[in-house]
A and B are shown apart, each in its own frame.
Chain A
Amino acid sequence: MTTRAEFMERIRREMARTRGLFPARVAERPADPMTAAELVRRQLAERWPQALERFRQEFERLSGVFHAVASPSEVPAVVGRIARERSARRLITWSAGALGADLGEGFRREGLDAVAMPDDPVDEAAARELRAINAAAEIGITGADLAIGETGTLVLVSGRGRPRSTSLLPEYHVAVFDRRALVETLEQAGVMLEAWHADPAGPMSGGVINFITGPSRTADIELTLTRGVHGPREVHAIFVSR
């Protein structure tokens, strides 16, 4: 087996035989990512309505369904309506801590069979049980760390109380976010990624970051667009304006 040293040595040997094709530089990263991110946030403090409008347009173009509510307490009613229209009942959700609001009681009032993901790791038996619940769930409720206007993309970071599968296994994914998540461009999202990475306590402490741009889709059979091949068939975004 090739060792790391041998592998790298071989690469260096070949690199030494050429100066390359032309002088080239990699992308310039923000010198201070935290400050750059702060700058983006300050811009968005004024421009978020434009970012939201662009997000709504792009998201709907992807066949996403956009909803707006005034406060978190109105979220369960919207979810209840989505569920009833689709004869769905079984719901899983990020933990109250991860969502920033405890919606459990609200979901139950809507007649939904809601299970919130625990914040702390569980033993193996409980993990198996959770997995069965996740696999059978029809609706998954998550937050969103970013909502990108340019592409209608929701960015979700995994971590405490925010499992990767909540936005993946159910047929209907509902993401709840407010204006703090809004950015206008992918480039700004890149600044946020740099800042998260620079901040050891930030969201990059999670294992996986997912950029979700519309429902799961394929065109593998005669280029016919088909939704919900492995992931959600429908994605809903609920914007909380307060």
Chain B
Amino acid sequence: MSLLRGGLRPPSEPPPGMAPAKPALERSGPHLREENTLLSAPVESRSFPERAAGATRDRFLQQALTIATTRFVASRDEVFAAFPQGDALRDRARQIKEAVLQRLDHYLEELTANVERAGGHVHFATTAEEARAIILDLARRNQVKLIVKGKSMAAEEIHLNEALEHAGMAVAETDLGEYIIQLAHERPSHIIAPAIHKTKAQIADLFARELRREVAADPEVITGLARGTLREKFLQADMGITGANFAVADTGTIVLVTNEGNGRMVTSLPRVHVALMGVEKVIPSMTDLVIFLQILAKSATGQKLSSYTTLVRGPRRPTELEGPQELHLVLMDNGRVRQLAGTLREALYCLRCGACLNVCPVYRQIGGHAYGDTYPGPIGILMTAMLRGTPAVKDLAHASSLCGACAEVCPVRIDIPRMLIELREHLDREKIAPWPERLLFKACGWLLGRPALYRLAAPLARLGQAPFVRDGRIRSLPSFFGRWTRTRDLPAVAARTFGERWAALERGA
């Protein structure tokens, strides 16, 4: 049972320069630098059902999603099957996340003190706008021209690239998937595999166009090309921007988990390193860190550990030949803090491993873009509600069968279905949901609360459905109800319901 009081409140800040509850800037690119780019970039105007329908008709996407999610799920299952202590560690990890939230102020103060002791600077951003302003100011003060970025969902969340480019700086994403997405002026469609929706042929064409040269549709060739192009940028860049998978309070350590090595480049070569993180990423000690490391990569990709786990403690030391001279850590709220006592508190445990996407029957059908915001998949619905307020997930809250697969694979056992139900409840209570939906739920609720009437309902329904049933299924219904049967069948009410059989059994006994 939840000990939480208080419900969901609308966000204090609609993301500036964009309509609330809309993913913005789908197509703005580095070449667009006009004064009003941030304001006038086309936003996704299709509704969620339209986006989802489009995705299910995209044959390549369907194929790519099936292959990718199936493989991710298989790798994850395999590595956990060979790791008997995995379940106990997941319980420990969940406890640590909850314990940290119970003393969040303490750990953030400790983290701040220790980052400063190591020679770094800490900044505090309540809103996305503030986080952008802090980073922009750091870039300007350092006369930055070229920025290299490690993969960061937090940076995606605040549309950081657009803000920096708008200010005339060049930004290069360096995670291969993110780089592809940046060249294509798109958004990531999976938390850890951002370009999962693209074919190698599409990527080869994209590289050929953007880099003006012949490119074979071979992952090896494309990767080699990206290596060369981005290596130059690493060596020239004045500033590196990363997220943080964890920040260890008692040592002031920022932890980055990557496979490609771009996170290491970004934190080793440029003069200035800026790390942007949500406040919930803080953990107490190295002992806690090791617990998380044992389950993070296993959940994300099925690796025992990702290729690189980088622990950054402050800027370059006096004994070091290289490394940034300045290190800045930006601690960001952006809707998180008000969930400490809110319905979505548990979503603050999230490690961003992507495991819940791979097992979700809805994500597997529609992919990441259909969700329409930074964070896709089951956890993404909760994150979108957190960042943009409950009305923004009016449709998305229903993009789940509540099957519970997400909660089952979550390394910190986040009860995503429970929160989705609470979101739906809230949408109903606050009259945000459309009235037919509310009426239907009300009628169902009324009926379910009256067993005598409910028993009557079955024979009535059998009578009512008679004209529509064929082979035990209802394939099409008229008017409003046809919305259901347009895309799927409705099983007919059985000739004898379970309740009726049970009653017969009891009579017989």
Q: Which residues of A contact B (CB under 8 A)?
A: 1-4, 6-8, 10-12, 14-15, 17-22, 24-30, 58, 117-118, 121-122, 127, 130-131, 135, 150-153, 158-160, 163-165, 168, 186-187, 189-191, 193-194, 197, 204-224, 226, 228-232
- A210 cross-chain contacts in B, Cβ below 8 A: 264, 308-311
Contact between chains at A213 and B5 (CB < 8 Å):
no
Q: Taking A164-B264, A193-B290 as contacts, is the C-beta distance between A26 and B99 under 8 angstroms?
A: yes
Q: Do A15 and B340 form a contact, CB below 8 Å, given A26-B96, A164-B322?
A: yes
A191 CA / B287 CA spacing, docked (Å): 7
Bound-state Cα–Cα, A194 to B287, Å: 7
Q: A8-B108, A26-B99, A186-B290 are in contact. Are A206 and B337 (CB under 8 A)?
A: no
By a beta-carbon cutoff of 8 Å, the part of chain B in contact with chain A is 2-6, 64, 67-68, 71, 92, 94-96, 98-102, 104-105, 108-109, 112, 122, 124-126, 130, 133-134, 174-177, 180, 193-196, 198-200, 203, 219-220, 222-223, 226-227, 230-231, 234-235, 250-251, 259-262, 264-265, 267-269, 279, 283-291, 293-294, 301, 303-323, 331, 333, 337-338, 340-341, 345-346
Query: Could you tell me if A18 and B4 are in contact, using CB atoms closer than 8 angstroms?
Result: yes
Closest to A150 in B: B304
Min distance, Cβ A74 to any Cβ of chain B, angstroms = 28
The 5 closest A-B pairs by CB, nearest first: A231-B261, A190-B290, A17-B341, A220-B177, A211-B309
Contact B286 A193 (CB under 8 A): yes
User: Which chain B residue lies CB-closest to A206?
Assistant: B317
Instruction: Say whether chain A's binding surface is mostly helix, strand, loop, or mixed.
Output: loop
Q: How far is the CB of A12 from chain B (nearest CB, A)?
A: 5
- Some 10 contacts from A to B, beta carbons below 8 A apart, are A21-B4, A131-B235, A163-B322, A208-B323, A214-B307, A216-B259, A220-B177, A223-B71, A229-B226, A230-B265
Who on chain B is nearest to A95 by CB?
B321
Q: How far is the CB of B218 from chain A (nearest CB, A)?
A: 9
Return the contact of B340 from the options A6, A18, A151, A229 (Cβ within 8 A). Answer: A18
Min distance, Cβ B277 to any Cβ of chain A, angstroms: 13
Contact of B287 among A4, A117, A190 (CB under 8 A): A190
- Chain A residues with Cβ below 8 Å from B317 are 158-159, 205-207
State the Cβ distance, A192 to closest chain B Cβ, in Å: 9
Q: Contact: B322 with A165, CB < 8 Å?
A: yes
When A7-B124, A206-B317, A230-B231 are in contact, do A20 and B3 touch as well, CB less than 8 Å? Answer: yes
Looking at B267, B306, B311, the one whose CB has the most chain A CB atoms below 10 A away is B311
Closest-by-CB residue of B relative to A20 is B102
Cα–Cα distance between A223 and B73 once the two chains are bound (Å): 13
Q: Are A218 and B4 in contact (CB under 8 A)?
A: no
Contact A229 to B67, CB < 8 A, known contacts A25-B95, A121-B321, A151-B304 = no
Which chain A residues border B251 with CB–CB below 8 Å? 197, 204
Within the complex, which residue of A11, A190, A213, A220 is in contact with B306, where a contact is CB–CB below 8 Å? A213
User: Which residue, of B105, B234, B316, has the highest number of chain A Cβ atoms within 10 A?
Assistant: B105
Kindly provide the distance from the CB of A186 to the nearest chain B CB, expressed in whole angstroms: 5
Residues in A with CB closer than 8 Å to B108 are: 8, 11
Q: How far is the CB of B100 from chain A (nearest CB, A)?
A: 7
- Within 8 Å by CB of B260, from A12, A208, A218, lies A218
How near does chain B come to A32, taking the closest CB pair, in angstroms? Answer: 13
New contact pairs (5) apart from A213-B306, A221-B219, CB-CB < 8 Å: A27-B285, A193-B290, A211-B293, A228-B223, A229-B261
**Contact A11 B310, CB 8 Å, known A21-B2, A58-B304, A151-B305:** no
